[in-house]
Amino acid sequence: MSRVLAVAPHPDDETLGCGGALLRHRAEGDSIHWLIVTEMTPGPGVPAERLAARRGEIDAVASHYGFNDVHGLGFPTARLDTVPRAELVGRIGEVVRAIGADTLYLPFRGDIHSDHAVVFDACAACAKWFRQPTVRRVRVYETPSETEFQIAPGMPAFQPNLFIDITPHLDGKIAAMRFYESEMAEFPFPRSETTIRALAAFRGGTAGCAAAEAFMTVREIL
């Protein structure tokens, strides 16, 4: 049995990037865990009702996946680059160690949102074998609305080398995204059901199945 940790800079990244894979892991008897790095906080334009709704979304998503546990670090959204790197690495490392995670799912470092790059770098530091010897596999996911919108010249593109067949789990992934009511919109919005299904079909066409999620395997120890 694998111990799988999905690291999400923000709630919904886990579903957009590896929701189908998580459902497959659960169906195959693996333990699945969710680490949410940032948290929505009160402020201008963020009323108490919105905060309560977000907490409800997270609870509903956690129940839908049947996560063994959910960890929230509570760092400020869109300001992770202001958090001391040692603190971020230390907090993430505590979660990895507590779970004994052997498989990590991480955001792509080249995503346009700076939080994704910061989380990837911190997790990469945590994945060193002498720091977290349980970690055997590190997989990077793509996030619609973040990965494909990176336009910085010279930035490496997302180049998958692992495809996971999620055909039986695509509807479950879509169902999870529906809990994020404020994040979804009608096509051609990138976080729409049409777009998510289209990406799964495209990745499936590459892999020879009806629906797939694509990943970059950046480390694997056999």
- The domain ranges of the chain are 3-165+214-220
| Mean pLDDT to the nearest integer, 125-153 | 94
| pLDDT tens per residue, range 187-218 | 999 999 999 999 999 999 999 999 999 999 99
User: Residue 13: its pLDDT value, please?
Assistant: 98
| pLDDT tens per residue, range 102-111 | 999 999 999 9
* CB atoms closer than 10 angstroms to residue 112: 16
Q: Which residues contact 210 (CB under 8 A, 6 or more apart)?
A: 167, 170, 201, 204
Helices in 28-76 by DSSP H: which ranges? 48-65
Q: Is 0.85 surpassed by the pTM of this model?
A: yes
| Token code pair at residue 101 | 């995670």
Indicate the pLDDT class of residue 175, thresholds 50, 70 and 90. Answer: very high
| Mean pLDDT to the nearest integer, 104-131 | 96
Q: What is the mean pLDDT of the chain?
A: 95
Residues comprising the chain, all counted: 222
| pLDDT tens per residue, range 43-80 | 666 777 888 888 999 999 999 999 999 999 999 998 99
User: Residue 154: its pLDDT value, please?
Assistant: 83
Q: Decide: 57 and 179 in contact? Cβ < 8 Å.
A: yes
Q: Where are the beta strands (DSSP E) in 132-191?
A: 137-141, 162-165
User: Residue 45: its pLDDT value, please?
Assistant: 67
| Mean pLDDT to the nearest integer, 73-89 | 94
Structural fold of domain 3-165+214-220: Rossmann fold (3.40.50)
| pLDDT tens per residue, range 22-47 | 999 999 999 999 999 999 877 666 77
Dmax (CA) of the chain: 49
Whole-number Å distance between alpha carbons of 163 and 200 = 10
